[in-house]
């Protein structure tokens, strides 16, 4: 199993560990793990296409959370990316993945750094389910050009 798949499974395991009386540690780690699962899936999908296998690990370390968040926010904006002539279903899937990335990242920050936020089992499970849905959507559209262009945008900072 790939690392991103392991992270998603671990998030499911943590949220299911004790559903009647979950600990905040398990719920917070599940929310955080859901984000990191999608984060690493997108990185994996990008570097897999890099032809020099020995350089893939180095390339993977070049991704930045902030750049990925910005690219994901931008791709959701129809005025910046109208995707004219593209399949509406593919566009919806891509924008859903990008929105999921942004949401999961925001909630990962809450889970990891805001101790005043108490997570419920249902809330944590919803975040893990969002990551799982993003995985499924990605697998459905990953061969589309706009999906591959999105991956490149996650790595490359826009020029000022």
Please state the rounded mean pLDDT for residues 72-92: 96
Q: Is residue 114 part of a domain?
A: yes
Q: pLDDT-derived band of residue 21, with 50, 70 and 90 as boundaries? A: very high
Domain count, the chain: 1
Cα separation of the two ends of the chain: 39
pLDDT in tens, 96-140: 999 999 999 999 999 999 999 999 999 999 999 999 999 999 999
62 part of a folded domain:
yes
Residue 159 pLDDT: 62
Q: Within a domain: residue 76?
A: yes
Per the rule left: phi > 0, alpha: psi between -120 and 50, beta: everything else, 85 is left
Q: What are the structure tokens assigned to 31, written together?
A: 């929310």
What's the confidence (pLDDT) of residue 7? 98
Domain that includes residue 8, residue range? 3-155
Give the model's pLDDT for residue 13: 98
Cβ(33)–Cβ(14) below 8 Å: yes
Instruction: Specify if 24 maps to a domain.
Output: yes
- The answer as to whether 144 is a domain residue is yes
Residue that wins the pLDDT comparison between 157 and 8: 8
| CATH code for position 94 | 1.20.120
Q: Residue 59's pLDDT is what?
A: 77
Question: Got the DSSP string for the chain?
Answer: --HHHHHHHHHHHHHHSSTTS--HHHHHHHHHHHHHHHHHHHHHHHHTT-S-GGGHHHHHTT--HHHHHHHHHHHT-TTT---TTS-HHHHHHHHHHHHHHHHHHHHHHHHHH-TTPPPPHHHHHHHHHHHHHHHHHHHHHTTSHHHHHHHHHHHSPPP-
Check pLDDT > 70 for residue 160.
no
Is 101 exposed, middle or buried (CB count within 10 Å of its CB: 0-12, 13-18, 19+)? buried
Model-wide pTM > 0.85: yes
CB-based contact 40:105 (threshold 8 Å): no
Nearest-angstrom CA–CA distance, 160 and 158: 6
The mean pLDDT value for 148-159 works out to 87
Q: What is the pLDDT of residues 40-81, one digit of tens each?
A: 999 999 988 887 778 778 878 888 999 999 999 999 999 999
| 160 within some domain | no
């Amino acid at each position: 199993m790939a690392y991103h798949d392991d992270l998603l499974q671990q998030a499911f395991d943590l949220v299911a560990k004790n559903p009647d009386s979950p600990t905040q540690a398990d719920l917070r780690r599940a929310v955080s793990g859901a984000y990191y699962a999608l984060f690493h899936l997108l990185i994996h999908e990008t570097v897999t296409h890099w032809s020099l296998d020995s350089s893939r690990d180095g390339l993977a370390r070049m991704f930045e959370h902030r750049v990925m968040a910005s690219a994901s926010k931008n791709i959701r904006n129809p005025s910046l990316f109208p995707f004219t002539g593209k399949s509406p279903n593919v566009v919806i899937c891509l924008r859903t993945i990008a929105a999921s990335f942004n949401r999961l990242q925001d909630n990962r920050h809450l889970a990891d750094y805001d101790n005043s936020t108490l997570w419920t089992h249902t809330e944590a499970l919803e975040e893990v389910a969002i990551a799982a849905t993003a995985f499924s959507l990605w697998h459905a559209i990953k061969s589309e050009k706009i999906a591959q262009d999105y991956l490149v945008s996650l790595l490359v900072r826009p020029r000022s």
